[in-house]
Structure 1
Amino acid sequence: MWLSPVTLTAPTAEPVDLAKAKQYLRIDAGDESFDDEVETFIAASRAEVETICNTRMITQEVLLIASTFADLEHLPIGPVQSIDAVHYIDANGEEQLVDEASYALVGGMLDARIVAGQGFAWPVARTRVDAVRVTATVGYGDAGTDLPRDLYLAILQGVRAHFDGRNLSMERLLVNHRIWLS
């Protein structure tokens, strides 16, 4: 069982910058009267996409918390760029670091997993909901240009819907970018 991911290092920028959003909304570049509102809509649309898809758009570091090593067979977030550390709580209640040579990140961007290396067996973790902790770097990249174009467009469409005061069902736009949790 996975708990909700915790952001350790936030992204340095939004995937859509203010100038591009204003251009999409057809707001004159020199008109600053809507800037705060549009920036809020960018953040809200990005957050909605990330929530629906169980992904992160821009590179950031997160803490993933699971109850067992078996949970590592399907990571609850993506795209995963790297696994920075795997810790666990041992039978005595002490936190231990798993040697990075003992495991590997495998799979695609939205279907990542951590597997034990050849000849290595996962140690016995204490029975508790937060027994295994993974520090990972996730996201498509450092800029909006790193996103798949349809995700970038979905964020812009979300900004447009917020700006126009209408609802937009983003699920249909994002079906190919979701991490499905069972």
Structure 2
Amino acid sequence: MPAILLAGPAAEPITLAEAKIYLRVDHDSEDALIASLITAARATVEALTRRVLIDQGWRIVRDAWPASGLVAAPVNPLREITAAHVVDAAGEEIELALDAFALDTARLPGVIRVARGALPAPGRPLAGIAIDVIAGHGASADHVPSPLIEAVRVVLAHFYEHRDVPGPGAAFPARLDALVAPFRVARL
């Protein structure tokens, strides 16, 4: 069940100014590099934890409605459903009522309960269902757990210090695993 990014975060978990202080950089000549490393560090922490840090819009694509009526969210923490549709045999999108879905956001991964029998079957065999969701800890870094913010800093510093290392580069610091381990979302 793939998930497609519709809208990335409105902000990064740390600002350029915060990153420069953390890296002890007091000039502006590497601002573009540091800004791109912040994004790469956030994406790395998201991949390591299977969590979205700052709210993002995602589309969950399915071929058919699950027999169990439960859809495990591939992006977490799940916050809300913003839209859903099925594609009919003619290729037209049919909007679905959001009250046909219920969210369990207390568990990780989050679960979407689908009202079985109340929704039309897709008219094509592949990718006929789309559920648009918002996932993340909140709209700003204020809602992200502090160990995950620190993990972004650790990865940022690692990327900055090892940017000239060819190949796979140096291993991440051991403390990174200690920071992210409690926040990893298990795969179902």
Question: What is the TM-score normalised by the length of structure 1?
Answer: 0.83
Which residue does 2:182 correspond to in 1? 176
Q: How does 1:30-179 map to 2 (within 5 A)?
A: 31-70=27-66, 72-90=70-88, 94-108=92-106, 110-117=108-115, 121-126=118-123, 128-165=125-162, 166-168=170-172, 170-171=176-177, 173-179=179-185
Gap regions ≥5 residues in structure 1: none
Q: Following the alignment from structure 2 to structure 1, what is the Cα–Cα distance between the partners of residues 53 and 117?
A: 33
* SS of match in other structure, 1:141: coil
Q: Following the alignment from structure 2 to structure 1, what is the Cα–Cα distance between the partners of residues 182 and 64?
A: 28
2:37 partner amino acid: F
Shift of 1:138: 1.5
* SS of match in other structure, 1:44: helix
Q: Following the alignment from structure 2 to structure 1, what is the Cα–Cα distance between the partners of residues 186 and 124?
A: 26
Check 1:141–1:167 CA distance in 2 against 1; reply closer, same or farther (3 A cut): same
2:185 partner amino acid: I
Q: Retained in 2: the 8 A contact 1:85–1:136?
A: yes
1:168 partner amino acid: F
1:150 partner amino acid: P
Shift of 1:72: 4.3
Q: Retained in 2: the 8 A contact 1:140–1:147?
A: yes
Range with greater deviation from structure 2 (56-65 or 154-163):
56-65
1:50 partner amino acid: E
Question: What is the TM-score normalised by the length of structure 2?
Answer: 0.81
Shift of 1:41: 1.3
Q: How does 1:7-26 map to 2 (within 5 A)?
A: 7-26=5-24
Shift of 1:126: 4.1
Q: Please give the per-residue CA displacement for 1:125-144, whole angstroms capped at 9, x wherever unaligned.
A: 34623122111112111222
1:178 partner amino acid: R
Equivalent pairs, count: 177
Q: Following the alignment from structure 2 to structure 1, what is the Cα–Cα distance between the partners of residues 107 and 53?
A: 12
* SS of match in other structure, 1:11: coil
1:180 partner amino acid: A
Check 1:128–1:175 CA distance in 2 against 1; reply closer, same or farther (3 A cut): farther
* Percent identity over paired residues: 27
Q: Please give the per-residue CA displacement for 1:48-78, whole angstroms capped at 9, x wherever unaligned.
A: 1122333222122111112222284311111
Q: Retained in 2: the 8 A contact 1:102–1:120?
A: no
Shift of 1:109: 5.9
Q: Following the alignment from structure 1 to structure 2, what is the Cα–Cα distance between the partners of residues 21 and 78?
A: 25
Gap regions ≥5 residues in structure 2: 163-169
2:183 partner amino acid: H
